[in-house]
């Protein structure tokens, strides 16, 4: 993902989340709240939780979710080696059908690393 595309993704995600909240009922708001709380530090660190979220999203082949978790992994100082190990688990579980998503994930990661972590805000 080029840096411009990354910025577009982040901006669109924020705008669409605002739109969702405009219409959200209590059930949608609860799911969003649980989602936010789940990825905070607990017994398992937020960093590890983001890697878990990344692998789950990767296996489910949700490119938007993979992008989001890659951004969060970058914020949590995930190393290239940690990312590679996590995605290898996803590849093992998901099989060869996930290879196109693996390509995009590493392309996105490479582009994220070109940005200052402080610029990557969601």
Superfamily name with CATH number, domain 3-115: AhpD-like (1.20.1290.10)
Alpha-carbon separation of residue 17 from 23, 47, 62 (angstroms): 10, 23, 17
How confident is the model at residue 1, as a pLDDT?
43
Joined together, the tokens standing for residue 88 give 């290898």
Q: Does residue 21 have a pLDDT over 90?
A: yes
Residue 101, classified by CB atoms within 10 Å of its CB into exposed (0-12), middle (13-18) or buried (19+), is: buried
CA 46, 50, 53, 59 dihedral sign is negative
Q: 3-state secondary structure string, 31-61?
A: HHHHHHHHCCCCCCCHHHHHHHHHHHHHHCC
Average pLDDT value for residue range 63-84? 96
Instruction: Give the separation between CA 97 and CA 75, rounded to whole angstroms.
Output: 28
How confident is the model at residue 48, as a pLDDT?
98
How confident is the model at residue 116, as a pLDDT?
72
Please give the model's pTM, rounded to 2 decimal places: 0.88
Joined together, the tokens standing for residue 114 give 């070109």
């Amino acid at each position: 993902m080029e840096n411009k595309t990354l910025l577009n993704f982040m901006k669109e995600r924020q705008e669409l989340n605002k739109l969702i909240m405009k219409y959200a009922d209590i059930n949608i708001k609860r799911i969003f709240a649980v989602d936010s709380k789940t990825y905070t530090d607990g017994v398992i660190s937020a960093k590890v939780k983001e890697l878990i979220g990344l692998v789950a999203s990767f296996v489910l082949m949700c490119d938007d979710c993979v992008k989001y978790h890659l951004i969060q992994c970058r914020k949590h100082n995930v190393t290239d080696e940690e990312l590679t190990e996590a995605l290898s688990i996803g590849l093992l579980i998901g099989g060869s059908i996930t290879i196109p998503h693996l390509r995009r994930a590493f392309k996105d990661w490479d582009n994220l690393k070109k940005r200052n972590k402080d610029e990557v805000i969601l």
